[in-house]
Structure 1
């Protein structure tokens, strides 16, 4: 025992140390930099231009400010690039996070976001340390797509109040549900202002659509925003602007953490953390699928995103996640290393330092136009059609996940979607468990064979199918011997083994002799521990081949006939 401890201890310590090292930045992250630095610089500049309107829009749409959206994109963009697990992932504020933050701001105020971001970042970082990075692989495809559709619908609806009125709604004036709030804002909309806003939205949307068709690298959102801003200033439009943006980053400081509020904010932080982890891991997985820069390290990605959110909160920002759209642009622009993501953040920093005046004059309606189009692009019609046409269960899971995401809560929607998917999978798997009652029909017929019944098991036997198996076998008619054929029995859990032992005991209590044939070596230990083999009347009633079991059954029937009941 002492020797085993000495051998195991260092090995376990080495594994822990290796895991810790795998979570930290290393020189090999930039191995390709001497060959790819030009492409990385260009890709970073391209993503920075694309990310600018999104960062502004997500900051405003979340109930925070455009400045906070920019701060998050800058700080989180650098930290996630350095500490994250993907070479080409671009992080910052995202539409999914806006969906979660909006009700938090409406309920607790903008001041609570800093504390929520710190807590959420710590939870995400802890998840990486605890090796929970691969759990995203457990989320089924219909759940992911339903989640995405729900987020897209919510983002779209959240822009309606921004378009309907120049006045920001007072706390509690609009519902925290995006659909209800959109309806409320339209009922009280100023028709003349709404006309101007819709015009701005139309210009931005047309620019984004036209530029994407002309050339994928054209920043349609930025072009549309510039056009709307110039037109608004020249025409003296009444469109509400972003407002003044400071020309420097604020000094880092801890957010106000009110101990009395921490207990209330923990559930909100857990929701933010769960969303940040899911979205970042999904984005990293997408990036790995469209680039050849290597597989992401999921645990390190969580650590990096946790560090990024904590860092953003110290500068007054909001939670950050990996952004699928910006990551895709980064890959298509030729990014090979983390330098591209860092450059994207530096481009945004340059905007803060040199162009806050023009940025502050951008109409909010133009940002709403960017998010309207972004939300629509999140939904792939071909994907929706494929899921709906796949199976009824998957179509239902997809629809329920999307509906709950829009009407209730994102993380709850994912949990319910996964539970529904697991239930459907268990139901399908339980149906694959076969129990066949086989009368003995040997040629030539042997007297007494009608008193022998073989029961063949096929497939897995586990808790979901155990009750059906029990009812089927226990419903056999009056026989003298039952042979349980188990050579085709696959996976067996404790519940399945327990049901088998109950079947043996139940039949024996009815005076039916039970023989077991073909127990696999992998099942023998479980059957011994649960009592399947111990329930037999005699250990000699265990056989390897069916012919031996049948001979014994016939001899048993013959003796029973000779000696009577």
Structure 2
């Protein structure tokens, strides 16, 4: 692929939209459905992040449109998400709400650069237990963050969500009965409505019911408050010192935006299999689109954007076929900003807390948890470690530790699978065969297994005159394994044992030569029969020499 063609693959094309009547109708209906579902979530995640409800709405509109046009998934829906709200909360606590727009722009630049550098496929290297553990941790944090609003109190910004929840429960506000009742109304409505009809936007209906109830009863509960009635670009003020202070936050936001967006796109691709064709998912273009979306969102005073798995799933299930559905979803929310900010401002915060409480419980199905835990002990440990670190420490640190845990278990399994078994000689037995040992390598001979395997060979080579080492089934050899092999050959030769090497692959031979494991005079064979014939001849000569003496 030429550079020009590669650049074009990262940009919108003619085939992104399909305006035929059936497809257009399906996209319009799906977009309206997702917009209705996304409205309360945008408000809730904006408030949960500390940036405010307005930031959530702005992100859903601006980032939703930009990501839909420039992103790599035809059915991805982007906007504010729970994971990003979790990352932003401590940033807002440390640097104030003004930092959110700057972090969004700078984080978007990093994600954009990652897409231009073709790093989109790296998400495929994330192990499944790490992804699920990370998602469970996010769900736990979202749940814990809503408890203060649910009991009518506040906690200091930036406090660990678990400690904040405990503090809130022990210092419940005076309106605790009203807030708990509001949360209960929302939760019950969201849980019961889907059983009546799956097409009902349960979260929106639940918020409407709770808001009407609060207005009728004049409940003393905190409300969302004033919202913007228009979108105006505003470039945030920044200097080198501010950018330096926010560098760590920018990297965390960019990493999360890239990971969550690519995971969401991958889930969407899986959901669309077997249905009407919706076009391929392009991970590199997805990063470019998400980077541009976060930059645009920051310019309008919004939050960093990511692909939203739940809203994307609703989009797919509603019949979306092209990017138009995601654009329509954003326009629905934009209509609310221009036509209904007064009504939205009266929504109780406890109602949005109820929406997020139910949403967090649905993020990781129990069936998925059972599958991960039952898969293997290593997957269960990796899953649990990632989830615990996510809640107790930091999201990016959790992914890093989860990857380390997964790598440790993978290397341990690889090391245990590496072995050198003793084979029988081919063909009919001959005199002197008891003095010949054939060892076949299997698996990977690397730093985690080479010393053990070579020690076993040296110990098993007693009372033999010839050792044949077979390499045809050796899949992986690193420098440590090559060095250990060379030392073992030297040890066997020092004991008067002839070492014959059979079936060394070309790339392994190069490594063995450069590390000094292979030397001039070493006997190499491509056929086991030839190696055995040479070994038998050597044994016969040795026996004859002994008899002469």
Q: TM-score, normalised by structure 2?
A: 0.94
Shift of 1:343: 0.9
Partner of 2:70: 83
1:134 counterpart = 2:121: yes
- Residues 267-316 of structure 1: CA distance to partner in whole angstroms, max 9, x if unpaired? 11111111111110111111111124122100000000000001000010
Task: Look up the match of 2:456.
Answer: 472
Note the aligned Cα RMSD (angstroms): 2.0
**Equivalence for 1:418:** 403
Among candidates 185, 189, 193, match of residue 207 of structure 1? 189
**Consecutive unaligned residues in structure 1, runs of 5 or more:** 1-13
2:440 counterpart (456, 459, 463): 456
Q: Which residue of 2 aligns with 1:236?
A: 218
Structure 2 CA distance, aligned partners of 1:281 and 1:247?
32
User: Which among 13, 16, 19 is matched to residue 26 of structure 1?
Assistant: 13
- Taking the aligned partners of 2:264 and 2:157, their CA distance within structure 1 comes to 32
- For residues 429 and 324 of structure 2, what CA distance do their matches in structure 1 show? 81
Give per-residue Cα distances to partners, 1:392-425, cap 9 Å, x unaligned. Answer: 0001111111111111111111121122112212
Change (3 A) 1:20 1:441: closer
1:66 equivalent in structure 2: 53
CA contact (8 A) 2:86 2:138 kept: yes
Match of 1:43 among 15, 25, 30: 30
SS in structure 2 at match of 1:463: coil
Task: Check whether the contact 1:440–1:450 (CA below 8 A) recurs between aligned residues.
Answer: no
Q: Is the 8 A contact 2:94 2:158 kept in 1?
A: no
Map of 1:491-502 to 2, 5 A cutoff? Answer: 491-502=476-487
Structure 2: runs of 5 or more not aligned: none
**Structure 1 residues 441 and 213, CA, compared in 2 at 3 Å: closer, same or farther?**
closer
Q: Match of 2:254? A: 273
CA shift for structure 1 position 451? 3.2
Q: Give the deviation of 1:563 after TM superposition.
A: 4.3
Match of 2:365 among 380, 393, 406: 380
Aligned residue runs from structure 1 range 100-249, under 5 A = 100-165=87-152, 168-169=154-155, 173=156, 176-190=159-173, 192-249=174-231
Q: How many residues align?
A: 542
Instruction: Specify the SS of the correspondent of 2:246.
Output: helix
Change (3 A) 1:524 1:175: closer
Partners in 2 of 1:355 and 1:34 — Cα distance?
30
Moved more, 34-43 or 79-88: 34-43
User: What displacement does 1:368 show?
Assistant: 0.3
The SS at the match of 2:335 is helix
Most deviating of 330-339 and 126-135: 330-339
Q: CA deviation at 1:119?
A: 1.3
Distance 1:17 1:34, change over 3 A: farther
SS of match in other structure, 1:460:
strand
Residues 175 and 340 of structure 1, relative CA distance in 2, 3 Å threshold: closer
Question: Does 428-437 or 46-55 show the bigger shift?
Answer: 428-437
Say if 2:279 is the partner of 1:294.
Answer: yes
- Asked whether the 8 Å contact 2:120–2:287 carries over to 1, the reply is yes
2:530 corresponds in structure 1 to: 548
Alpha-carbon distance in 2 for matches of 1:395, 1:314: 42
Residue 324 of structure 1 corresponds to: 309
SS in 2 for 1:459: strand
Q: CA deviation at 1:439?
A: 7.3
Answer yes or no: is the 8 Å Cα contact 2:502–2:531 preserved in 1. Answer: yes
Offset at 1:477? 2.1
Matching residue of 1:3: none
> Which residue of 1 is the match for residue 296 of structure 2?
311
Matched, 1:56 2:40: no
